[in-house]
Structure 1
Amino acid sequence: MDPNEFGTSTIPLQHAPYGPITAEALQNKNAGKIAVVTGAGQGIGAAIAEALIKSGATVAILDLSVEKQQKTQEACESYGGKVKAYACDVSNQDAVVTTFDEIEKDLGTIDILVNNAGILVQRPLIMSDFDTFWKQIEVNFKGPLLSIHTLLPRMRDRGHGCIINIASRSATVDVPMTLGYVTSKAALTRATHTLQREMALDGLDPAIHLYALHPGGVLTGMGASGAPKDVQEKYGNPKDEEYFKGLFKDPPILCGQTCAWLATGEGKDLRGLYIGKKYLLSWWCSSS
């Protein structure tokens, strides 16, 4: 592992929920709130949904199909919370508006939005079908913006809300063969800060608070799939799953519990920022 490529931390990193983001510390702190989590069928999205349920929220989970979310729904229900699954393509405006309307009819007004849905195609641009490349921008950047564009006016009218955009370390580094992913995550990160400043223009800062959250080094199916065979034949695949396991040390629940904590509003000093577990831990230690 080259430390110059991905950097190293000057403080010990936590790889499990700690301090204010444990389930015990957050018990009932989101009670009475309605949350939406996109890309909730597995991995990080499922963990976010479970953490919000454990903190007392009612949760709407979204993915391309309801069936894909069965395990997530069952896990959430095992904690005694209320959860409902919806099928939604987050890159389709009509689908997003219709789904959000349905959620508010079924569950109530939405207080928390977590934009987690994302896709990654490991292929250099020169070997890519452009539509396939662009679909990453559609899901990873257009999708969150459609959800925000749909929900933000409703939050404005109610005078409160929390929006968490799941970003990535990829927003800050150059990783060949992931152009669609890194650029979409970089755009989402900048959009988060800009939208927070727009809230200030309307006198809604910090009542409406937004975050771009780096979820940690979580080894998901998306990140561990490797490059397609034709790409490996041309370029090799030095950054394969084994290479990245040195970075992927975090369970999904670390991100899930962080989202549940941000949703409480206790971390509003971090609003508008790109934050990760190292920065959050440093902030918590300095403010404790």
Structure 2
Amino acid sequence: MLDFRGKVAVITGAGSGIGRALAVQLAKEGARLAVSGRRIDTVEETADLCRIEGADVRAYELDVTDRDAVLKHADEVVADFGGVNLVVNNAGVSLTASVEEVSWDDLEWIFNINFWGTVHGTKAFLPYVIASGDGHIANMSSMFGLVACPTQSGYSSSKFAMRAFTDSLRQEMKLYGHPVGVSSIHPGTILTEIARKARAADGRDVDELASNFERMAKTSPETAAEVTLAGIRKDKAMIFIGSDAKFLNLLQRGLGSGYQKVLTAMFRKDLT
């Protein structure tokens, strides 16, 4: 997919952050847009920004954890636009808690959104993307879908699972000769609201965690969108956003499981 002009792009989690930036950038490049999220007011704000760029865009309220709702959404988008070329399963949440601390409810919550939300979106739209003859599915993983670290077991495992699902899909599309590219996206610390909307174990200060995250954030959502679309154009299997994501990818490739010693030492330093 070298040119997005006239292509129908579906973006979940489009009410802010990378999802909004992707929508606006695609609008500038002439795509037609179906943007969705749980809060229709923020999704409408994104749609308005896309309309300023002259885009044909529609906003939808959508809970990606609701399989039936996502299946219905796919049919609705195709009825509204006549087809689908690009799907970016972007909706995601964060959770900070050790394995000892984390609740069953929080583990189910993060998997329902990060993993199952991606599976629902992929399965619902895949037949239409194949039928387009020029399609791409991009799923938002994380730098913590490359490595795991302390207090991120729930988040990392949901993103590792998403990466495995996406890797399998990419191989299947090539194996069966379908005209569909597939990418997993691995952002580092992006200056978005994800940390402000995160959950944390009892006793952990979400505001403090968010402030620390924002101080470390190295990349803007707009830059993340540009890198993502460049990777999709090249049909990259994995798209790394930010120097931190690229570093962690090299770390785990170079050290194998030895990367765990490095990250453990880094976290131990923060505790002292």
Residue 18 of structure 1: aligned partner = none
- 240-249 or 78-87, which deviates more: 240-249
Q: Does the alignment pair 1:273 with 2:238?
A: yes
Q: CA deviation at 1:243?
A: 4.0
2:66, 2:77 → 1: CA distance?
A: 16
1:39, 1:161 → 2: CA distance?
A: 20
What amino acid does structure 1 have at the position aligned with 2:99?
Answer: L
Q: CA deviation at 1:143?
A: 0.8
Structure 2 contact 115–161 (Cα < 8 Å) conserved: yes
What amino acid does structure 1 have at the position aligned with 2:194?
Answer: M
Corresponding residue SS for 2:91: coil
Corresponding residue SS for 2:49: helix
What amino acid does structure 2 have at the position aligned with 1:53?
Answer: A
Q: Does the alignment pair 1:147 with 2:121?
A: yes
Structure 2: any 5+ residue segments left out of the alignment? Answer: 247-272
Q: Percent identity?
A: 30
1:229, 1:193 → 2: CA distance?
A: 31
What amino acid does structure 1 have at the position aligned with 2:7?
Answer: K
Q: Give 1:229-268 correspondences, 5 Å limit.
A: 230-232=202-204, 240-245=209-214, 247-263=216-232, 266-268=233-235
Aligned alpha-carbon RMSD (Å): 2.5
TM-score (norm 1): 0.76
Q: CA deviation at 1:218?
A: 0.8
Runs of 4 or more, structure 1, over 6 Å off, are none
Corresponding residue SS for 1:75: helix
Q: CA deviation at 1:180?
A: 1.7
Corresponding residue SS for 2:123: helix
- CA deviations on 1:85-121 (whole Å, 9 max, x unpaired) are 1011111110001111111111220100001100112
Structure 1 contact 118–139 (Cα < 8 Å) conserved: yes
Q: Give 1:158-173 correspondences, 5 Å limit.
A: 158-173=132-147
What amino acid does structure 2 have at the position aligned with 1:259?
Answer: T
Structure 2 contact 83–132 (Cα < 8 Å) conserved: no
Structure 1: any 5+ residue segments left out of the alignment? Answer: 1-25, 281-288
What amino acid does structure 2 have at the position aligned with 1:248?
Answer: A
Residue 3 of structure 1: aligned partner = none
2:59, 2:16 → 1: CA distance?
A: 13
Structure 2 contact 86–129 (Cα < 8 Å) conserved: no
Q: Does the alignment pair 1:86 with 2:60?
A: yes
Corresponding residue SS for 1:164: strand
1:219, 1:81 → 2: CA distance?
A: 25
1:277, 1:101 → 2: CA distance?
A: 35
Q: CA deviation at 1:246?
A: 5.3
Q: CA deviation at 1:277?
A: 4.7
Flag the 1:259–1:274 CA change in 2: closer, same or farther, 3 A. Answer: closer
Q: Give 1:1-288 correspondences, 5 Å limit.
A: 29-204=3-178, 207-223=179-195, 228=200, 230-232=202-204, 240-245=209-214, 247-263=216-232, 266-268=233-235, 270=236, 272-277=237-242
Aligned residues: 243
- 63-72 or 86-95, which deviates more: 63-72
What amino acid does structure 2 have at the position aligned with 1:118?
Answer: G
Q: CA deviation at 1:229?
A: 7.8
Give the number of the structure with larger relative contact order, counting CA–CA contacts within 8 Å between residues 6 or more apart. Answer: 1
What amino acid does structure 1 have at the position aligned with 2:181?
Answer: H
2:55, 2:197 → 1: CA distance?
A: 33
2:20, 2:131 → 1: CA distance?
A: 29
